[in-house]
Amino acid sequence: MFPEPTYTQRRAALCSALDGGLVLLLGNSESPMNYADNCHRFRQDSTFLYFFGLDQPDLAAVIDTDVGTATVFGDELTIDDIVWTGGLPTIAARAAACGVTETLPTADLPGVLARARAAGRAIHFLPPYRAANKLKLMDLLGIAPGEAGARASRPLIEAVVAQRSVKAPEEIEQIERAVDVTIAMHLAAMRMVRPGVSERAIAAEVTRVAEAAGCRLSYPVIATVRGEVLHNHHHDGMLESGDLFLLDAGAEGPLGYAADLSSTVPVDPDFTPRQRLIYDLSLKAYHAAVDALGPGVPNRDVHFAAARVIAEGMKGLGLMKGDTEEAVAAGAHAMFFPCGVGHMMGLDVHDMEDLGEAFVGYDGRPRSTQFGLKSLRLARPLQPGFVLTVEPGIYFIPQLMDAWRASGHCAEFLDFDELDKWRDFGGIRNEENWLITPDGKRRLGEPKPLTADEIAGVRDQPR
Ligand code: GLY
Ligand code: MN
């Protein structure tokens, strides 16, 4: 946990941002894998962590924004529990560590909420993303599970997004530590890459490096020779000569802060000339996006800076044609870059995605429905203290080529016959994590090998 004043100040800021009422924050419960006592690793809700730092299942909290007090609800361990868990600090002792002096049993929560409702006070809650918390809201507030998202408090969502979007120095330090562990994960993987190694072996090593450093994974590892499958979580392939290997893996630090890096390397010691062309183009797009970053710059512009470079490069290769600006406006570049340039990162790898990307990335406005652009999670102007990923990629997706050829989509900007020659190329992505500063930006963590020469240098080192 951070020192106690961090949590007291965060809750005070939340109270000032709201116009009265109670805030009900539900922590997460254990999530069974196949029976009640055999659970997935516990992950606390990120907003609960942000305001209370208590990393323990089955807690809830109420913040009274009119008087500025907070109560933590939870049940002490019984002797039956302690036989299995060992002795643990009491809820009162844990709550004291985040500056909360009032704790009550879980059974008291319905009464507290009922009295507040009877007095006509607002009860603000966030959209639940776990079924268990939807059911809890039904029990506590009588809201049907299917309606809980729509009935969530917009003022609370906006206040939490405003607070969590701007990272404090102690948060940046946590993120940067997670980034450095993540770089060690990527270096370990790069040193293993060669023909005959399995994706599984690399995924296992990447996970080991994270765990050995006291971290966990911030999302499931992508370790694949099929980089064109954007979220490819299968690890059953073998690395073969001529392949590209893409790793997208990040550590989550002990306080819950995430890192998210991607690297692409050749399975052979060097890229083929064709791979090198696309790799260098992807780096050019990456640097164009990074150059565009800065306070006040809409991340939408950062996205288009990368998109333009990719479209220009594809024209040079004869895969695209026509006016670049018109092609990008029509979304033709999304044949190669069908996703967004990056996303917010913090206590969640896609920070606050549970609160709604309209609020996190679009200031509450709807986003584009155009293929490609609709997957841009963060479009609004960047502010000092924002931490985000920059991850333009170039992907050759045979199914997308066939679908667009059949429908004629963007046919004026694409040469489908030329594209067919690249069906088996795969995909490339590089990704780093950036902080927006008052006068620009700063890459978080140590530099990661990016150029072909830097990658070759890492692979020459002994394992
Ligand atoms: N690292 C996975 C993602 O950004 O979606
Ligand atoms: Mn990412």
CATH number of the domain within which 151 lies:
3.40.350.10
Q: Could you identify the atom of ligand 1 that is nearest to the CA of residue 249?
A: 1
Among the listed residues 385, 378, 394, the one whose alpha carbon sits nearest the alpha carbon of residue 434: 385
- Distance between CA 148 and CA 124 in Å, rounded? 12
pTM for this entry: 0.96
- CA-to-CA distance for 143 and 151, rounded, in angstroms? 8
Distance 114 CA to ligand 2 centre (A): 42
Looking at the fold, whether 342 and 406 belong to one and the same domain comes out as: yes
For ligand 1, whether the C-beta of 252 sits within 6 Å is: no
Residue 219 Cα to ligand 1 midpoint, Å, equals: 8
Q: Which pLDDT tens digit goes with each residue over 42-95?
A: 999 999 999 999 999 999 999 999 999 999 999 999 999 999 989 899 999 999
The answer on 191 and 145 residing in a single domain is: no
Residues 151 and 187 in one domain: no
Among 227-231, 350-354, 429-433, name the one with the lowest average pLDDT.
227-231
Count CA atoms closer than 13 A to 385's CA, side-chain side: 11
SS3 at position 437: strand
Whole-number Å distance between alpha carbons of 221 and 207: 8
CB atoms within 10 A of CB 314: 28
Asked whether 108 and 71 are in contact (CB, 8 A), the reply is no
Per DSSP, 232 falls in state -
Query: Could you tell me if 80 and 21 lie in one domain?
Result: yes
Tell me the HSE value of 286 on the side-chain side, using a 13 A CA sphere: 25
Q: How far apart are CA 391 and CA 428, in angstroms?
A: 10
Best mutation site among 233, 350, 430 for ligand 1, i.e. most ligand atoms within 8 A of its Cβ? 350
Q: Would you say 215 and 253 are in contact if contact means Cβ atoms under 8 Å apart?
A: yes
The closest of 224, 260, 221, 229 to 244, measured between CA atoms, is 224
- In this structure, the number of other CB atoms found within 10 A of the CB of residue 104 comes to 17
Considering 132, 165, 198, which residue would you say is the last residue of a domain?
165
- Which tens digits make up the pLDDT trace of 207-261? 999 999 999 999 999 999 999 999 888 999 999 999 999 999 999 999 999 999 9
Q: Where are the alpha helices (DSSP H) in 219-365?
A: 273-292, 299-316, 324-330, 357-362
Q: Which of 165, 183, 207 is the last residue of a domain?
A: 165
Read off the amino acid at residue 376.
L
In degrees and rounded to multiples of 5, residue 214 shows phi and psi of 80, 20
Question: Which residue in the block uniquely carries the two structure tokens 């992950």?
Answer: 43
Q: What does pLDDT average to over the chain?
A: 97
Both 318 and 383 in one domain: the answer is yes
Question: What's the pLDDT score for residue 72?
Answer: 98
Q: What are phi and psi of 90, to 5 degrees?
A: -70, 165
pLDDT at res. 387: 98
- 366: pLDDT confidence band, cut at 50, 70 and 90? confident
Pocket flag, ligand 1, residue 348 (CB < 6 Å)? no
Question: What's the CA-to-centroid distance between 76 and ligand 2, angstroms?
Answer: 39
Of 244, 266, 228, which Cα lies nearest the Cα of 452? 266
Tell me, yes or no, whether 270 and 338 share the same domain. Answer: yes
Task: Give the integer Cα–Cα distance in Å for 96 and 52.
Answer: 10
Integer Cα distance of 129 and 111 in angstroms = 24
Mapped onto helix, strand or coil, the DSSP state of residue 258 is: strand
Query: Is residue 462 predicted with pLDDT exceeding 70?
Result: no
Tell me the longest C-alpha to C-alpha distance in the chain.
74
**Ligand 1 neighbour 176 (Cβ under 6 A):** no
- The span from the CA of 363 to the CA of 63, in Å, is 25
Query: Which ligand does the CA of 353 lie closest to?
Result: 1
Q: Which domain holds residue 181?
A: 169-459
Same domain, yes or no: 224 and 148: no
Task: Please give the distance, rounded to the nearest whole angstrom, from the Cα atom of residue 343 to the centre of ligand 2.
Answer: 7
Rounded CA separation 155/180 (Å): 36
Atom of ligand 1 nearest to the CA of 389: 4
Among residues of the chain, what percentage have pLDDT more than 90? 97
- How far is ligand 2, taken at its centre, from the CA of residue 65, in Å? 35
Distance (angstroms) between ligand 2 centre and the Cα of 389 equals 6
**pLDDT (tens digit per residue) in 381-404:** 999 999 999 999 999 999 999 999
- Say whether both 220 and 266 belong to one domain: yes
Write the DSSP string, 133-179. Answer: HHHHHHHHH---GGGHHHHS-HHHHHHHHHHHHS--HHHHHHHHHHH
- Please give the number of the atom of ligand 1 that sits closest to the Cα of 260: 1
Contact indicator for 447, 176 with CB cutoff of 8 Å: no
Q: Using the 3D structure, point to which of 112, 145, 165 is the last residue of a domain.
A: 165
Ligand nearest to the CA of 433: 2
Across residues 283-291, what is the average pLDDT?
98
* 217 alpha-carbon distance from chain centroid: 11
Q: Do residues 335 and 410 make contact, with C-beta atoms less than 8 angstroms apart?
A: yes
What is the spatial distance between Cα 83 and Cα 91, in angstroms, rounded to a whole number?
18
Cα–Cα distance measured from residue 164 to residue 167, given in angstroms and rounded to the nearest whole number: 7
Q: Does residue 260 have its Cβ closer than 6 Å to ligand 1? A: yes
Residues 267 and 338 in one domain: yes
Q: Please tell me the distance from the alpha carbon of residue 80 to that of residue 359, in angstroms, as a whole number.
A: 44
Confidence of residue 183 (pLDDT cuts 50, 70, 90): very high
CA of 186 to the centre of ligand 1 (A): 15
Q: Write out the H or E segment, with its range, that includes residue 39.
A: strand 38-39
The CB of 205 under 6 Å from ligand 1? The reply is no
Q: Do 26 and 174 have their domain in common?
A: no
Q: How far is the CA of 87 from the centre of ligand 1 (A)?
A: 38
Q: Residue 461: pLDDT above 90? A: no
64 and 203 fall within a common domain: no
- Number of Cβ within 10 Å of residue 279's Cβ equals 23
Confidence of residue 365 (pLDDT cuts 50, 70, 90): confident
pLDDT above 80 (res 275): yes
Distance CA 150, CA 438 (A): 36
Q: Measuring CA to CA, how many Å separate 256 from each of 159, 213, 235?
A: 21, 14, 25
Distance in Å, CA 397 to ligand 2 centroid: 19
> What is the CATH classification number for the domain harbouring 393?
3.90.230.10
Task: Check if 431 has its Cβ closer than 6 Å to any atom of ligand 1.
Answer: no
Which among 186, 248, 375 is the best mutation to test ligand 1's pocket, defined by most ligand atoms within 8 Å of the CB? 248
206 plus 159 within the same structural domain: no
The per-residue pLDDT for 382 is 98
Q: What is the 3-state secondary structure (H, E, C) of 63-75?
A: EECCCCEEEEECC
- What residue has token string 């995605």? 353
Ligand 1 pocket, residue 2 CB under 6 Å: no
Pocket of ligand 1 contains residue 219 by CB under 6 Å: yes
- Split into its structural domains, the chain has a count of 2
The DSSP string of 428-442 is EE-BEEEEEETTEEE
> In the chain, pLDDT over 70 holds for what percent of residues?
99
Per-residue pLDDT tens over the stretch 306-343: 999 999 999 999 999 999 999 999 999 999 999 999 99
Ligand number with the minimum distance to the CA of 434: 2
Kindly state the tokens that stand for 418.
């030329």
- Is the confidence at residue 463, as pLDDT, over 70? no
